[in-house]
Chain A
Amino acid sequence: MSTRQVSAGLHNLGPVDQIPFGEGRAFGVDGEQVAVFRLRDGTLRALSAVCPHRGGPIADGTIDQRVVMCPLHQNAFELDTGCSTTGAEPLRSYEVHTDAEQNIVLRTGRSGVIN
């Protein structure tokens, strides 16, 4: 997916409709792989896309309002913080929101929550 840098560290990943409710999609942003989830309440969360356990594709995970479960061995990670609830190493979490045009805006670099 091509993305557009909006301003320092902010990236426009395109329309939020690319992500169905309750699922995640992966984006390559600034050389980083980021999984963006659209919760059933419409809000977004973003975590690094590669599972620290064995490299599972986090965007393919099953989510609820709180966690994402990696599809390979079912480790779970908090969507808000990236911390694992099953004892795995944490994922990085990113700040993400939609703008007025319903585009996904993601912040990379230092300002996100860094674990």
Chain B
Amino acid sequence: MTTVADKPQDTHQRKPQSRQGKPAARRRLVVIGNGMAGARAVEEILARGGAEQFTITMFGDEPYGNYNRIMLSHVLSGEESDSDIFLNSLHWYQDNNITLHAGVRVERIDRFTKYVFANNGHVVPYDVLIIATGSQSFMPPMDGLYTPSGSVKPGVFTFRTIDDTRNMVQHAQYEHHHRAVVIGGGLLGLEAARGLQSHGIDVDVVHSGGHLMNAQMGPEGGAILRRSVEALGIRVHTGSRTTAVLGTVGTDKVSGVRLRDQPDIDCDMVVVAAGIRPNVDLAVLSGLPVERAIVVDDQLRVLDEDDIYAVGECVQHRGEVYGLVAPLWEQAVVLADHVTGADTSSAYLGSRTATKLKVAGVEVASMGLRGPERETDEHIVFSEPSRGVFKSIVIRDNKMVGATLLGDSRKVAYLTQAFDKGLPLPEERISLMFDLGAPAEDESVAELDDDAQVCNCNGVSKKSLVAVVKGGCNTVAGAMDATRAGKGCGSCKLLVKQVVEWAADGAVEEDPAASYYVPGIPLDKPSLMAAIRKQGLRSVSAVFAALAPDSGEGAKSKMGLASLMKMMLADQYIDERDARFINDRVHANIQRDGTFSVVPQMKGGVTSVQQLRRIADVAEKHNIPMIKLTGGQRIDLLGVPKEDLPQVWADLDMPSGYAYGKSFRTVKTCVGKDFCRYGTGDSTKLGIEIESRFQGIESPAKLKLAVSGCPRNCAESLVKDVGVVAVEGGRWEVYVGGAAGAHIRKGDLLATVDDPEDVKLLTGRFMQYYRQNANWLERTYAFVPRVGIEHIRAVVVDDAEGIAAELDAAMQASVDSYVDPWSERDDPLTPGQFRASLPLTVLPQVPVR
């Protein structure tokens, strides 16, 4: 077979071109499929000077740029927004002079005249063609999948594309939808199940195999995975085949599924994740060699074709078809070497798929054999079902030939390498599974082979990470940006960090910016505070002028500085309104359509007939689209246009509840001893007093408090920034550093005191210490463990540093400078403070219930 580089025209192509001279006729490269493999192949080609050799045209059936398909699981669960998973925006195509036909499907290739035919009538000639059509979901045969017109029944979904994901989310969020059945208990099915749960959907997984993820692990691992998955509240049915999708008679709505030999399961939606099939219709129709997938050689050329290559999930190489991204990164490199002629000796010899995944929040790594196959195979198994940990290693002739690791991925890097390279193994086999004695982290990073892939999602090797570090980038964040390592599923972040630290040889610069209080001023918090004091700075613009490089302001830094200076200077602070985030400029939380929410103060969650009546009147007068009880025990009026805020506040005549700021928010309370038959302390009274005292004080991140009247803890005090619990004997426990939002942490016991006054004192002193020492946006759940509860107790309770009086005085100053921000209704502080920002849109657009 001729290689591209041997062709005469190619030699001509690679002559350097003068910039002014007429560019030599470039060859036409056409790529069918704009998914992960197609786009990556083009990136690799561009990296080898491909832009000078080719005019590039890409066809993609999906109407978008290229996105990270792996991240669809995160989009489904709502952890990522769909706009954040794009790898190449439409700009990238423009910038690289690539003609992208998005939303256009190629239907046929004429390999003799060298044209591709698209479904929109386009006929495009090529000199070199790359097929990267990927796979589609497999629909196992069952009754009731399709409507009489032949389309898939509404309510039945596959999980492959961004559109699939969006449709699922939409369906799952529909009010009356509560239950889903996922068909398939492999990686995709479990990810789908977990994702749907986050929309409040109750999920059953029906799997025809004997155990979950049977393609990656044996029955024992599968059983432990099942426990972990069930512990998440997902019901699992293994060895069950779905025979039909059931529908409500007379509609085409899904009502359940029928299983063989088991009762029907009711549901409102069905997700089919029963495997994938390569997209080969196009290749078959065009007369290319297809077995299980399009057959390619070691150069990724389609068998017996000179100018047609294929890459990704649509190819079969040496009998293997892959369904993960790591192999296709390797393929893309070899393909680009040949297409551009950069390295004509390059060959793809297949991938050993060692996969490291996070499946439904459970760490899973699997490589090679799932279990022993020969009598002489050694099999080492460690199983700890209660923690969801399982490790199995198969050894043959002193080489590792397979491993499964569940729930603990610490040794994965080392094992992957031992597997890839066939390294000799230590005699003491148990050290394959555990780090015995000294922490071997550094060693294991040092041992890691240069070519070892650290980030599987983006195909980043140890070598390339080391290269950017040697190239002068010695911060973890910088190296991640430069290589995209860690920016896929995120399961490798720890390893990335270790590699960068190792490569920088101890000289890892803490990302300098990581220690800055705000990104635009190169100072950590103590130095920043010292500089502000020393230079007598009193406004945010003065801080920028004095301390920012080039004296330039930075939008990203303004809000953090405004908060810090208000905390430090109380009423000495010159409050420049442009330094505030919009929420703090108009004292309300901005909504998705640009309207705002109004949450009046309701101390301790206690209200009155008068308050309720007034709120009802206001809601009626202003046509409030939604009135909602918040998770913080008060009432939220949502969907208020900005220009109506002053009038709404005036009509309410209640103070702000600060539900919008990085500030003290609310104190949840339980009814306490006056009413509750278990109450040992007056939690309501104390909660109200705390809220009255600390209302509105700003802090590096929000502060949410609670007071409970007994250890039953109905106000959830253990998961609050400061949580107070009355205990027997008239005593009060004070917990700090708890949370139950994005992170869940039980607070640490700071002290147990006798007197509610002491509770207030310690609460204030702790909060002041936090305000002075926490990083911007660092909640107490991160601050307390970072500083250590012992240290905090020493300072706050025992006054070990002799600063207690100072802390109390500083807090008192903040308390004294409290002004209800809603009083600005009568006297707006800036021109047009409450003027609409979207003048031509009819607001609100938030749904009206």
Interface residues in chain A, defined as those with a beta carbon under 8 Å from any beta carbon in chain B:
1, 17-28, 31, 33, 35, 40, 49-50, 53-69, 71-73, 76, 87-88
- Can you name 21 A-B residue pairings with CB atoms under 8 Å? A17-B831, A18-B832, A19-B832, A20-B832, A22-B541, A23-B585, A25-B835, A26-B839, A33-B840, A56-B594, A57-B590, A58-B837, A60-B837, A61-B555, A62-B558, A64-B554, A66-B555, A71-B581, A71-B583, A72-B592, A73-B81
B307 at the interface (CB under 8 A from A): no
* Distance in angstroms between the alpha carbons of A86 and B542 in the assembled complex: 28
Beta-carbon contact of B555 and A26 below 8 Å: no
Beta-carbon contact of B555 and A31 below 8 Å: no
Interface flags, B814-849, vs A, CB<8A=1, else 0: 000000000000000011100111111100000000
A40 in contact with B553 given A22-B576, A60-B594, A64-B558 (CB within 8 Å): yes
Interface flags, B564-599, vs A, CB<8A=1, else 0: 000000000000111101110100001011100000
Chain B hits for A76, CB < 8 A: 555
Report the nearest A residue to B545, measured CB to CB.
A40
* Distance in angstroms between the alpha carbons of A71 and B86 in the assembled complex: 21
Beta-carbon contact of B837 and A40 below 8 Å: no
Beta-carbon contact of B555 and A63 below 8 Å: yes
Q: How far is the CB of B648 from chain A (nearest CB, A)?
A: 18
Of B83, B590, B642, B835, which one neighbours A53 at CB under 8 angstroms?
Answer: B83
Q: How far is the CB of B830 from chain A (nearest CB, A)?
A: 4
Interface residues in chain B, defined as those with a beta carbon under 8 Å from any beta carbon in chain A:
81, 83, 86, 89, 91, 541, 552-556, 558-559, 576-579, 581-583, 585, 590, 592-594, 642, 830-832, 835-841
Beta-carbon contact of B838 and A49 below 8 Å: yes
Beta-carbon contact of B541 and A40 below 8 Å: yes
Report the nearest A residue to B581, measured CB to CB.
A62
* Distance in angstroms between the alpha carbons of A17 and B576 in the assembled complex: 16
| Other 9 A-B pairs with CB < 8 A, given A20-B830, A59-B837 | A18-B831, A20-B832, A27-B839, A40-B541, A50-B838, A55-B594, A60-B582, A60-B590, A61-B582
A23 in contact with B830 given A63-B555, A87-B89 (CB within 8 Å): yes
Counting from the closest, the 7 A-B pairs by CB-CB distance are A22-B578, A57-B837, A20-B830, A57-B594, A59-B837, A64-B553, A60-B582
Beta-carbon contact of B555 and A64 below 8 Å: yes
* Distance in angstroms between the alpha carbons of A93 and B623 in the assembled complex: 36
Report the nearest A residue to B833, measured CB to CB.
A20
Report the nearest A residue to B541, measured CB to CB.
A40
Q: How far is the CB of A88 from chain B (nearest CB, A)?
A: 8
Q: How far is the CB of B831 from chain A (nearest CB, A)?
A: 5
Of B89, B541, B831, which one neighbours A20 at CB under 8 angstroms?
Answer: B831
Q: How far is the CB of A104 from chain B (nearest CB, A)?
A: 12
* Distance in angstroms between the alpha carbons of A28 and B555 in the assembled complex: 25
Which among A24, A49, A57 has the greatest number of chain B C-beta atoms within 10 A?
A: A57
Chain B hits for A1, CB < 8 A: 839
Beta-carbon contact of A55 and B593 below 8 Å: yes
Of A21, A33, A69, A88, which one neighbours B838 at CB under 8 angstroms?
Answer: A33
Report the nearest A residue to B583, measured CB to CB.
A71
Chain B hits for A40, CB < 8 A: 541, 553, 578
Beta-carbon contact of B578 and A19 below 8 Å: no
Of A18, A54, A63, which one neighbours B578 at CB under 8 angstroms?
Answer: A63
Of B553, B556, B838, which one neighbours A26 at CB under 8 angstroms?
Answer: B838
Q: How far is the CB of A114 from chain B (nearest CB, A)?
A: 15
Q: How far is the CB of B95 from chain A (nearest CB, A)?
A: 12
Report the nearest A residue to B557, measured CB to CB.
A64
Chain A hits for B594, CB < 8 A: 55-57, 60
Chain B hits for A22, CB < 8 A: 541, 576-579
Q: How far is the CB of A96 from chain B (nearest CB, A)?
A: 16
* Distance in angstroms between the alpha carbons of A20 and B836 in the assembled complex: 15
Chain A hits for B553, CB < 8 A: 40, 64-65
Beta-carbon contact of B577 and A23 below 8 Å: yes
* Distance in angstroms between the alpha carbons of A7 and B556 in the assembled complex: 38
Of A20, A24, A65, which one neighbours B577 at CB under 8 angstroms?
Answer: A20
A62 in contact with B555 given A31-B840, A71-B590 (CB within 8 Å): yes
* Distance in angstroms between the alpha carbons of A61 and B590 in the assembled complex: 11
Beta-carbon contact of A62 and B559 below 8 Å: yes
Q: How far is the CB of B185 from chain A (nearest CB, A)?
A: 35
Chain B hits for A71, CB < 8 A: 581-583, 590
Report the nearest A residue to B552, measured CB to CB.
A65
Chain B hits for A60, CB < 8 A: 582, 590, 594, 642, 837
Chain A hits for B839, CB < 8 A: 1, 26-28, 33, 49
Chain A hits for B555, CB < 8 A: 61-64, 66-69, 76
Chain B hits for A24, CB < 8 A: 837
Which among A35, A55, A68 has the greatest number of chain B C-beta atoms within 10 A?
A: A55
Report the nearest A residue to B548, measured CB to CB.
A64
* Distance in angstroms between the alpha carbons of A56 and B585 in the assembled complex: 16
Of B89, B91, B552, B831, which one neighbours A19 at CB under 8 angstroms?
Answer: B831
Q: How far is the CB of A21 from chain B (nearest CB, A)?
A: 6
Chain A hits for B552, CB < 8 A: 64-66
* Distance in angstroms between the alpha carbons of A16 and B318 in the assembled complex: 71
* Distance in angstroms between the alpha carbons of A23 and B578 in the assembled complex: 6
Report the nearest B residue to A67, measured CB to CB.
B555
Beta-carbon contact of A21 and B840 below 8 Å: no
Report the nearest A residue to B553, measured CB to CB.
A64
Chain A hits for B91, CB < 8 A: 87
Q: How far is the CB of A38 from chain B (nearest CB, A)?
A: 9
Report the nearest B residue to A27, measured CB to CB.
B839
Beta-carbon contact of B840 and A20 below 8 Å: no
* Distance in angstroms between the alpha carbons of A68 and B556 in the assembled complex: 10
* Distance in angstroms between the alpha carbons of A40 and B548 in the assembled complex: 15
Chain A hits for B832, CB < 8 A: 18-20, 25
* Distance in angstroms between the alpha carbons of A94 and B444 in the assembled complex: 57
Which among A23, A24, A27, A55 has the greatest number of chain B C-beta atoms within 10 A?
A: A23
Chain A hits for B642, CB < 8 A: 60
* Distance in angstroms between the alpha carbons of A49 and B840 in the assembled complex: 10
Chain B hits for A25, CB < 8 A: 832, 835, 837
* Distance in angstroms between the alpha carbons of A89 and B726 in the assembled complex: 54
Beta-carbon contact of B577 and A26 below 8 Å: no
Chain B hits for A17, CB < 8 A: 831
Chain B hits for A31, CB < 8 A: 840
Chain A hits for B83, CB < 8 A: 53-54, 88
* Distance in angstroms between the alpha carbons of A21 and B89 in the assembled complex: 34
Q: How far is the CB of B574 from chain A (nearest CB, A)?
A: 13
Q: How far is the CB of A78 from chain B (nearest CB, A)?
A: 11
Chain A hits for B585, CB < 8 A: 23
Report the nearest A residue to B580, measured CB to CB.
A62
Q: How far is the CB of B777 from chain A (nearest CB, A)?
A: 12
Beta-carbon contact of B581 and A20 below 8 Å: no
Report the nearest B residue to A53, measured CB to CB.
B83
Beta-carbon contact of A26 and B831 below 8 Å: no
